[in-house]
Structure 1
């Protein structure tokens, strides 16, 4: 299973300004596998140590954090000699030993020649009290679930993958139905590596109920984390986290997907749940998409902090959380009508994030018009509308183009690519071409 982040890791390895690397992300996104695969393929030796339930490592990091003391202990635990010229050090589940995170500062300052990667959950790495996160002393990469492009790669669909990589909209039109077939699979399976691997191993006789059980188990694992780090929680905090998490499918099924506190429970207020939202963000379980007050460059300075949308990390998990049966998506075009387009917007959101964009959204004052997403492409803003079907009515998009004098816009739908004046129509599977195509 190939991951696009491997190329970023290779760049990190060869960078003359290389610092210790923190590879973080939500649980079950494949961080351990990626770090180990990188070590096996780019180094002569791999010194891998898991800090999960590792009393020896806890004891090691209780003492001096100077690399000359730590390296012999890590080498002994990994069972390999550590040579800075050809050995990658991987400290896995680093959140279990908080001082191991702090030690990265000393590697950066005193032993920068040693390539070292610390992997762990986003929240666990940053939350511990009395431990200093080495700000400015580490490089950070975040691993997300597999994108649709990576899903195609895992499925061995090399021809489709090449069309995407070439941003070849003519060939997308030719093979549109094939693309849509695999997009439906992706909407069911999502990008969590275990679910994807199960799909790949059993295709074409896939037991989608088994994949749903895998997704449910991952979701239960996230729930179990809600009660972790109790010293950092106000009373009743795990319950509020669970209530917030449970509300997300309802929030995203509304026509207006602006986050509403009263959709959590009647009478809910921001002061009760804002910390819970931040905790889910810190865990990489949700993405917060802020509203902007106007569609102008640069978007960040026009952010309206009082309005936002929340999306989950993976479209397959959202499908499972919403109780949408795989057959509803796989049979016909129901995926694009289910839950008022929640899955379609979720797909576009996570694909934009994985492609390196920082999405926003916009509504006018009375919410008559809305842009589902807005991104920056080079020195311009690009409005994006997501259509959960074949009806390309774009009243809000055309209104925004005229109001803000925008030269172009993108509309994603289940149809093949086309160009309609200032609006570029792209299929839902083609987010990856935004960085490659002159729009």
Structure 2
């Protein structure tokens, strides 16, 4: 089976080479490639790989019966399967589907103290159990969150090497527009990525067949698996309400006002009854939440209203698969992402920002037309990011830049289906550059001087 290179590959090598490292916990939604990447790394780097899946082999839930010490757990594993070899300094123990047995996290402290074996934990639904896992292993673990493929990983799958990152970034930093041929090529690749999303099973089929054939069926099966996860793992929260929120995401993103409204989910629905449902979907790695800022100023954390938010799918391809049949045809045949009032463009930008390590914030001024899609920050500046489905004037962006009311805002970024450019303190980039925004802002020292040249 074709292996898709992932960013976690490099991270795992660095983790292994770290002296006195802690056990690793890899979080992420189902089917994003966690187990595949971990096992590939393990088989290449260790003489012995001990793989335990608590869903497929529930008998291993008994390995803590005599305590949580590394010695006792290894003894219990060996009793259950004498063929497993524990070679000090050259063995990795992988505990998969950790959400089925979060108690094993208590042992991570003792494995770190023991220091003879490396330990990696993973699972598709870790988020919903993470408070318990955190309390059992605080101070004795390293966390890594894995997502579906981002656009850079998609480019690797299409045959581009790692130098493509530097090439695109240099264009951004030097404000050098792309040639028409390059611009057209990357927009075509980006449109494919938006429609497919980054789920490995979908991308792998696309690479193998060079068509969208079968991608929708695979995406719909993944969505069915998500719905099944709700039924299996949602305890203490109303499953019907969770599914109602889930099904309403594309409907509400299609509105001009993309703020998610609980009142539209079901008759007489109230926020207090649904809050736990939204948190569950977020913790399960299915959605991204974008909170409304109380006021566009620094700092961002704590400066938002927890009852006002937009909801985006973590993988835009899965959002596409939730759309109606007519929109599907328009997207896959004509690659028209303008349907749903720009919702797909916003979703893909939100996805890219989260995969780059950003939290999501927007701003909507009460009783006014002023609204900005996203905000990121540099060391000293708040940077509004506007996503335009058409390259028309950015009224809200100009208001934020030209008013003395917002002193933390010195320049803005506009993402369009067009080329690199700048005018009036606004930097313009093609959508496909979004995955590089964080690195661009660091490379340019977060200074608007780059657009004054």
Q: Same fold (TM over 0.5)?
A: yes
Number of the residue aligned with 2:111: 107
8 Å contact kept, 1:357–1:376: no
* Structure 2 CA distance for partners of 1:250 and 1:160, relative to 1, 3 Å: farther
Instruction: Using the TM superposition, give the Cα deviation of residue 113 of structure 1 relative to its aligned residue in structure 2, in angstroms.
Output: 4.4
* Structure 2 CA distance for partners of 1:15 and 1:274, relative to 1, 3 Å: same
Instruction: Using the TM superposition, give the Cα deviation of residue 129 of structure 1 relative to its aligned residue in structure 2, in angstroms.
Output: 7.3
Number of the residue aligned with 2:43: 40
**Aligned-partner Cα distance in 2 for 1:138–1:251:** 38
Deviations 1:233-284 (CA, angstroms, capped at 9, x unpaired): 15xx111111111111111111111111122123211011111111111111
1:214 aligns with 2:215: no
Instruction: Using the TM superposition, give the Cα deviation of residue 9 of structure 1 relative to its aligned residue in structure 2, in angstroms.
Output: 2.3
- Superposition pairs of residues 252-401 of structure 1, within 5 angstroms: 252-323=253-324, 325-332=327-334, 334-335=336-337, 337-389=338-390, 391-401=391-401
Number of the residue aligned with 1:138: 141
- Higher mean displacement: 81-90 or 305-314: 81-90
TM-score by length of structure 2 reads 0.88
* Structure 2 CA distance for partners of 1:56 and 1:333, relative to 1, 3 Å: closer
Instruction: Using the TM superposition, give the Cα deviation of residue 77 of structure 1 relative to its aligned residue in structure 2, in angstroms.
Output: 4.2
Query: What is the DSSP-based 3-state SS (H/G/I as helix, E as strand, rest coil) of the residue aligned with 1:384?
Result: strand
* Structure 2 CA distance for partners of 1:383 and 1:64, relative to 1, 3 Å: same
1:194 aligns with 2:194: no
1:117 aligns with 2:124: no
Query: Which of 435, 439, 453 does residue 436 from structure 1 map onto?
Result: 439
8 Å contact kept, 2:249–2:312: yes
- Higher mean displacement: 125-134 or 169-178: 125-134
* Structure 2 CA distance for partners of 1:207 and 1:74, relative to 1, 3 Å: same
Instruction: Using the TM superposition, give the Cα deviation of residue 112 of structure 1 relative to its aligned residue in structure 2, in angstroms.
Output: 3.6
**Aligned-partner Cα distance in 2 for 1:326–1:229:** 30
Deviations 1:49-82 (CA, angstroms, capped at 9, x unpaired): 2222314312223331110121244467494422
Instruction: Using the TM superposition, give the Cα deviation of residue 163 of structure 1 relative to its aligned residue in structure 2, in angstroms.
Output: 5.5
* Structure 2 CA distance for partners of 1:130 and 1:185, relative to 1, 3 Å: closer
8 Å contact kept, 1:47–1:74: no
**Aligned-partner Cα distance in 1 for 2:82–2:366:** 59
* Structure 2 CA distance for partners of 1:86 and 1:384, relative to 1, 3 Å: same
Number of the residue aligned with 2:244: 243
Number of the residue aligned with 1:417: 420
Query: What is the DSSP-based 3-state SS (H/G/I as helix, E as strand, rest coil) of the residue aligned with 1:271?
Result: helix
8 Å contact kept, 1:167–1:433: no
Unmatched tracts of structure 1, length 5 or more:
none
8 Å contact kept, 2:152–2:165: no
Say how many residue pairs are matched.
Answer: 430
**Aligned-partner Cα distance in 2 for 1:40–1:118:** 16
- Higher mean displacement: 276-285 or 161-170: 161-170
* Structure 2 CA distance for partners of 1:7 and 1:159, relative to 1, 3 Å: closer
Unmatched tracts of structure 2, length 5 or more:
447-453
**Aligned-partner Cα distance in 2 for 1:252–1:85:** 51
Instruction: Using the TM superposition, give the Cα deviation of residue 164 of structure 1 relative to its aligned residue in structure 2, in angstroms.
Output: 5.3
Deviations 1:299-330 (CA, angstroms, capped at 9, x unpaired): 11321222111111100000001235554124
8 Å contact kept, 2:244–2:265: yes
Query: Which of 51, 64, 68 does residue 67 from structure 2 map onto?
Result: 64
Instruction: Using the TM superposition, give the Cα deviation of residue 160 of structure 1 relative to its aligned residue in structure 2, in angstroms.
Output: 8.4
**Aligned-partner Cα distance in 1 for 2:268–2:262:** 8
8 Å contact kept, 1:173–1:417: no
Number of the residue aligned with 1:168: 171
Query: What is the DSSP-based 3-state SS (H/G/I as helix, E as strand, rest coil) of the residue aligned with 1:379?
Result: coil
TM-score by length of structure 1 reads 0.91
Instruction: Using the TM superposition, give the Cα deviation of residue 132 of structure 1 relative to its aligned residue in structure 2, in angstroms.
Output: 5.0
